[in-house]
A and B are shown apart, each in its own frame.
Chain A
Amino acid sequence: MVIFMAKVMGLTGNEAIAYAVKQCNVDVVAAYPITPQTVMVEVISEYIYNGEMDAEFICVESEHSAMSACIGASLAGARVFTGTASQGLALMHEMLYIASGLRCPIVMGVANRALSAPLNIHGDHSDMMGSRDCGWIQIYAENVQEAYDWTIQAFKIAEDPRVLLPVSVNIDGFILSHCVENVFVLEDDVVARFLPPRKPLITIDPTNPITVGAMCLPDYYFEVKFQQFQTLNESLKVIREVTKEYESLSGRKYDVLEAYAMEDAEAAILCIGSTAGTAKEVAKGLRREGKKVGVVKLWVYRPFPQEDLIKALGDVKALAVLDRAFSFGAPFNALCSDVISTLYKYRKDIRVFNCVYGLGGRDITPMEIRGIFEETLEIADTGRLKEYVRFIGVRE
């Protein structure tokens, strides 16, 4: 294995994604600034202005227009990036489905933030969870390094001819978007070799006209959407291939999920994003006390890595699934619903409870996570669940 020399930089999540986008030789960026994503596109626009990046920056009047411009550019064969958060993602909502339906390999950085009302600019997963069924590949980074690494891998995954689907790289708003951390960056030429210029299969081209986005009636719509559905499910294979190739040049191992201390774990926490890091730190401490706890972190949330999850859970007896968003009126919240559906499908009997935490940027503390672990251990011991859904730290 050849590990290329890497230099270390101190970057925020927003800056790391922007730096990766620069190295990925993106052709078109159409974006509208919104907290906490603002710096992400600000830095990209600086790169373009300084001549460090040869791309077209389209200043649009809304996120709906941003995604529309991205779709057009992507169909024309360009490598396209955009970034957004919260209300911006919500405003894009209808175009998200068109981007995936028209099989545009757009990459989008999302600095996850709460949704109004009431107005809140801080981090939670309400925005992307509200768009979880939009047909995009959805990846959540735990730290700034992962934000950088996944952005580069995202283009490779999206543009693979077996995939041709948009990818969102999610970072927790403020917690990662505004946090400076060590980032080992690859040399420009290493990224260029990993990610050669995009070779689109079909493009919109006046000299060779095709029709894109035509009306599709009941006789064909189902088949077209089924094709998209299958492609998204099968993209897990490509995602894994890309992570293997990326590992060979970065030395950093990625997959569709990460299982931490799960080999002999009896109780575990499953979560996505930056909280996974805090959970691993707490698990490390509990392991030192002899407690058999582990953490499962999903990198890829869509397509949901069902088989990998079952394998990762091993012989766990009790599991706490942490959701940083509400699914109003649902029996469980988004992530937990998916976990429970998977367990049902594979006839796996694990006691599962759902913890909703950190809405609107409320910090989740190591002590709270320790409390969740202790409760999970107790359930593993007694086999008795007290509550199906808990709300961490909410005041009466």
Chain B
Amino acid sequence: MVLVEVRWHGRGGQGIVTVSRILAQAALLDGKYAQSFPEFGPERRGAPVTGYTRISDEPILIHSQIYNPNIVVVVDPTLIGKVDVIRGLSPKGLVVAHASRGPDELKKILGVSDVSVYTVDAMKIALEVLGRPIYNTAMLGALLKAYPLVTMDSLVKVIRERFPGAVGEKNVAAIKRAYEEAIGVE
């Protein structure tokens, strides 16, 4: 795999840094090279925040921010329309969004054509599986459905290590359900 660059959009407190790091750690288990870093700023709860993940088969030399991501993951649905989530998205790129509406509709809202769009109702999954409105990990499942960036095995392993016990199992269940339920259009 050549270098893949992912940009995460969410709000302070939604676990953007955590989810970006989990993805990087899973890539590491797959024997790949990875970088995970936040958009450095005074992180405040509720304010729009950005996280970045780079994954590659080769050692990653670059240390600048990501300007032309291959993949954008929108964790917080309320950001669409407020933040330019597709800024710099590379041609034939991919958007994975938390949304109750379908990918066709989102594609129209975003005004994109040469981009694949996937959506999943992560809030519904989080409430039903975790019993709490924490939907960052579910977005990892949707991401994997859209693009096999890391293996599900590695992802599950990292989740179980990061959240030992019942919490980990619930997160694994949320990821797997999001993987099943995410739908996309090319």
> Which A residues have a C-beta under 8 Å from some C-beta of B?
8-10, 121-123, 142-143, 172, 174-176, 178-182, 274-275, 277-278, 280-281, 284, 361, 363-366
Contacts and interface: CB of A to CB of B under 8 A. Distances in A.
30 contacts: A10-B21, A10-B25, A10-B36, A121-B42, A174-B40, A175-B37, A175-B63, A176-B63, A178-B37, A178-B40, A179-B37, A179-B63, A180-B21, A180-B24, A180-B34, A180-B36, A180-B37, A181-B33, A182-B34, A275-B63, A277-B61, A277-B62, A278-B61, A278-B63, A281-B61, A281-B62, A361-B40, A364-B64, A365-B67, A366-B64
Contacts, number: 65
Contacts of B42: 121
Given A174-B40, A179-B35, A361-B40, A8 B63 contact: no
Contacts of B25: 10, 180
Given A275-B63, A281-B61, 17 more contacts: A9-B28, A10-B34, A143-B63, A172-B63, A174-B37, A174-B40, A175-B40, A175-B63, A176-B63, A180-B21, A180-B24, A181-B33, A277-B60, A278-B64, A280-B61, A363-B64, A366-B64
10 nearest A-B residue pairs (beta carbon): A274-B63, A179-B37, A277-B61, A180-B36, A174-B40, A281-B61, A10-B25, A281-B62, A277-B63, A10-B28
Contacts of B37: 174-175, 178-180
Contacts of B67: 365
Nearest to B33: A182
- Chain B interface size, as a band, is 20 to 34
B34 A278 contact: no
Interface of B: 21, 24-25, 28, 33-38, 40, 42, 59-65, 67
A123, A180, A275, A364: most-surrounded residue (chain B CB, <10 A): A180
B28 A365 contact: no
B65 A181 contact: no
A178 B38 contact: yes
Contacts of B64: 278, 363-366
A284 B62 CA distance: 11
B171 to A, nearest CB: 18
Contacts of B62: 277-278, 281, 366
B63 A10 contact: no
B26 to A, nearest CB: 9
A275 B62 CA distance: 8
A269 B36 CA distance: 26
